[in-house]
Structure 1
């Protein structure tokens, strides 16, 4: 439960107010996968609903982040966040420090570049193992266009830390604004990352 508690605390720090005119959750689109699910007994690809997480499934989503994302994301895996029982641990602070230093050194001015006062961002792109290979990662990123427009946001920007998410972002229409190689970072744990070469800030206009 420690990982779940940490993620819930992090989510409570977000202070953006949704326009009352935009319903929640908003169903963005239905998407037919690429192949039948293994062991499901069917012969047709599954149909997915790409939407914001409804209230009764938020804990399930946070658990997916804790059990899968934190173990696979390069930075949190490098510092073995899931092995640390403390919600505000030194390991977590090291991850935050790496991110902030990267942003301070190479963070492009997204506001000026896109001529906006606010933009849509996100933390943690993850798909459950049994649903991988269906194209869901790219669809989740593409959903930002419809969601952003409905919320009156005209740009989106996110830090992508792994090669798979960076590739998906590029396919979805994101462009790299800044990047930093892991081997150039101060923290030995970060320099030792071998499954990815760099972290990138990638952005797109929601037009």
Structure 2
């Protein structure tokens, strides 16, 4: 844990392979593949993600500099993962970008986000989604559970040639395993696409909040209304992560 109480990955949990699936392995992003994973995320996630595509179509695309800084900020948490195809010379098949929210320092990401000037409209929408949400308190039966660190997924990209093979599901399963191992108690994410929403709900997470795209106004204009169809709403989805059993 950092001096402010913010999350720091324990040295006792080294970078490793978290999941094997078909011919793929899902692992912590190696230092020597950070640039490749950064470009993959730019080329795939930011091209396909509904909010980003709306900004681009309206001549409000993010700057390359801000995109790279956004990704760099998340990579510094040392919790992002990639999927590689061992049957194809370890070709990069997918990436999931992760950062960590900490109860002792709940606003530590805001200053970095605010510096991304070309992404300020995206940040404003994400802050709107956060309103009224407690990322650190969850229900377990009739009890309330408070956690110190929460996995906050910032996006997931899969190469077009690998889509439809379950890579997204494998990346999410692996990031949950990693999150538990490094001391996170829950996951809470903003999912903007019906496809990503379906994948995370299959992992046993639950809907926490929903924001219809035609309900969010910018200067009186429903800027994202054109996303419906096929995307009617943005959904906040999360829940407690299964903790390992400890011997008595």
TM-score bracket for this pair, using the shorter chain length: 0.7 to 0.9
Moved more, 173-182 or 89-98: 89-98
Corresponding residue pairs, total: 176
Residue in 2 aligned with 1:17? Answer: 8
**Higher helix proportion:** 1
Gaps of 5+ in 2: 1-5, 67-114, 139-144, 243-248
- Within 1, Cα distance between the matches of 2:122 and 2:234? 13
* Map of 1:58 onto structure 2: 34
Q: Which residue in the other structure is 1:42 paired with?
A: none
Q: Residues of 1 paired with 2:44 and 2:175: CA distance?
A: 22
Q: 1:204 Cα deviation (Å)?
A: 2.5
Tell me: CA distance 1:182–1:58, structure 2 relative to 1, closer, same or farther (3 Å): same
Q: Is the 8 A contact 1:28 1:146 kept in 2?
A: yes
Structure 2 counterparts to residues 65-144 of structure 1, below 5 A: 65-80=41-56, 82=61, 84=63, 87=66, 91-104=118-131, 106-107=132-133, 109-113=134-138, 114-144=145-175
**1:28 alignment partner in structure 2:** 18
Cα deviation code 1:24-68 (max 9, x no counterpart):
2x2101101xxxxxxxxxxxxxx0001111111111111111111
- Match of 1:44? none
Distance 1:85 1:117, change over 3 A: closer
Higher strand share: 2
TM-score, normalization by structure 1: 0.78
Tell me which stretches of 4 or more aligned residues in structure 1 moved more than 2 Å.
81-91
| 1:160 equivalent in structure 2 | 191
TM-score, normalising length from structure 2? 0.66
Contact residue 190 and residue 234 of structure 2 kept, 8 A: yes
Closer/same/farther in 2, CA of residues 22 and 163 from structure 1, 3 Å limit: same
Q: Matched residue of 2:148: which SS? A: coil
User: In structure 2, how many angstroms separate the alpha carbons of the residues matched to 1:189 and 1:121?
Assistant: 25
> Aligned pair 1:206/2:233, yes or no?
no
What CA distance in whole angstroms lies between the structure 2 residues aligned with 1:153 and 1:90?
30
Instruction: Go from structure 1 to structure 2 and tell me whether the alpha carbon gap of 1:59 and 1:48 turns closer, same or farther (over 3 Å shift).
Output: same
Contact 1:70 1:82 in 2 (8 A): no
